[in-house]
Amino acid sequence: MILKHLINMKRIFIGVKIDPGETLMNMITYFREGLNGERIKWTESGNFHITIAFLGDTEEDKVKAVGQMLSTVCTGSGDFEIIIRGAGVFKNLKDPRIVWASIEPSAELIRLFESVKLGLKDTGITIEERNFRPHLTLGRIKSINNNTAFASLIDRYQTTILHRQKVSEIILFESVLLNSGPVYKPLEKFALTDKRRGEVEKGRTG
């Protein structure tokens, strides 16, 4: 019975896919070359995304309810632009765990997050209560031997505009964990339609 329950679960999150341009990719190449030999699991560019809400293992009926909620939330919200600027780390430079690129503060992105959060609550799903810090994960760090070189790389790109992108949809992803690394499978896409159009353009990926 427990096995059947687990089979019907999907590990899901809601996010924005990032299509990296030349400046961002050049920085990542520079990081990878400068930190060659360090124990870092770099994110594949095809997996680049900004997480709006991570739901984790979710029952199939809840996944459908989340999709219905996102259809409503995205209607009339309108698209907007985000700017990726600078690099940083979680936890800290002395004991780094994740290297990331920062998303500049965006009122539209924050409003979208708050709408999704409220919609999830109405659906019966509560996400972790913490400040929304949108970022693009570049790599997960197991260990760093040369912290000085690492800090120098972070400092070099701290204020650089790395990428601009129009956000016209959000995606409900399934995270499939494989030995080779995670695969993020789009389950459903939700267009951020303009209020004047008044209808959701929804695309499904089979």
Q: Give the catalytic positions in this structure.
A: 49, 135
How many CB atoms within 10 Å of residue 193? 20
Which whole-number Å values give the CA distances from 179 to 12, 99, 109, 143, 183, in the listed order? 18, 22, 33, 20, 10
Cα dist from 166 to 20, 80, 103, 163, whole Å? 12, 6, 13, 10
Of 89, 96, 93, nearest to 136 (Cα)?
89
